[in-house]
Structure 1
């Protein structure tokens, strides 16, 4: 979740006027600041989360690996005061994903014990966490459901359109095999889906990067695949 005041949701106006309160409370819970190397795993899937991590800026990626070896990459996130481990803090469950530093990062360790007492002392902080977690949950679930229920071609097209509107919460990868994992599939299947979109004159590759070639055909393709969305304008 993002520590900065939320710009959406029922309580957005309230948070914008109480931003300093939230940040100051979290700052009081920080017990360590350190630099980690590129590809450091900040949280490992299946492990106990003892403290939370705050990343003020820098890029991380989020990955899930199934027992059969298949991987799903949620994508990369350009951090701007992002907190990780908040879900596990409330549930005491094991970490659900690998959280990976995509570059050298300066991170702050937020004491779970200090945060526990801060939430009791400042109930408004609990409301902030509830709002931020709810928004992250619905955004993430929306990605998972589309990856599960729609075709690879559709998901690639829809992802490009979200980036076109600048509303995609996560970013893409430069390497094909990682992009394939972001769509929950193999490199071969991903390349075949991209080639299909190229044949339909919807997208093109420019210096290895996938770009929209015809925005009208892209929107028509998304609609024809069954997604009548408020995004289609």
Structure 2
């Protein structure tokens, strides 16, 4: 979730007014600042965590693995005051996703116990979490539903459209990881990209697939 109020929502105006107090609560609950190098885990799947992490700048990736070794990549996030561990903070369940630093970055390590006491003393600050969790839940549900109901070509095109509207989640330059993010093999992912390129909808840019023709993209997605 983002530290700043999300741009839409019933409580946006109220959250803007409360933002300095929320920032102060996070600052007062921070234990220390820790530097992570590329490839280092910030949070590990299956572990119990009593901390949250605030990354002001840097790029991280999220993934989940199973015992067979198969991995699902949720994607990369270019952080702008991003908080990780909020789900575990409220649920006290083991970490759900591996959060890995993709660039060198600093993370503010926040004590869950201190933050919990602050929220009990100032319960209105919990609106930040409630609003962010609702927005992130709906966003994730939309992506998951689309992945289940539509073919890979459609989902690749849809993500490019979504990134044009807002860019919280980014792709990877590594094909194997991108294939895992769409729940398929590298071979199937390459074939889907080729089909979209041949239709003139996308092209292969230096940073990965990009929109070649916005009109064709909208027609393909039936928008």
Q: CA deviation at 1:208?
A: 6.8
Structure 2, gaps ≥5 residues long: none
> Is 1:222 matched with 2:221?
yes
> Is 1:69 matched with 2:80?
no
Number of residue pairs the alignment of both structures matches:
223
Structure 1, gaps ≥5 residues long: 224-231
Query: What's the counterpart of residue 228 of structure 1?
Result: none
Query: What's the counterpart of residue 129 of structure 1?
Result: 129
Query: What's the counterpart of residue 78 of structure 2?
Result: 78
Cα distance, 1:26–1:208 mapped onto 2, change above 3 Å = closer
Return the alpha-carbon distance in structure 1 between the equivalents of residues 114 and 163 of structure 2: 38
Q: CA deviation at 1:184?
A: 1.5
RMSD: 1.5
Query: Which secondary structure state, in structure 2, belongs to the residue aligned with residue 18 of structure 1?
Result: helix
Tell me the alpha carbon deviations over residues 78-100 of structure 1, each in whole angstroms, 9 at most, x when there is no partner: 11111111101111111110001
Query: What's the counterpart of residue 164 of structure 1?
Result: 164
Return the alpha-carbon distance in structure 2 between the equivalents of residues 209 and 132 of structure 1: 29
TM-score by length of 2: 0.94
Moved over 4 A (4+): none
Between 207-216 and 56-65, report the one with greater CA deviation.
207-216
Residues 47 and 95 of structure 1 are in contact (CA less than 8 Å); yes or no, is this contact kept in structure 2?
yes
Between 75-84 and 138-147, report the one with greater CA deviation.
138-147
Residues 5 and 12 of structure 1 are in contact (CA less than 8 Å); yes or no, is this contact kept in structure 2?
yes
Q: CA deviation at 1:54?
A: 1.0
Cα distance, 1:206–1:84 mapped onto 2, change above 3 Å = closer
Tell me the alpha carbon deviations over residues 157-184 of structure 1, each in whole angstroms, 9 at most, x when there is no partner: 111112233x242011112111112211
Return the alpha-carbon distance in structure 1 between the equivalents of residues 86 and 140 of structure 2: 15
Return the alpha-carbon distance in structure 1 between the equivalents of residues 100 and 6 of structure 2: 24
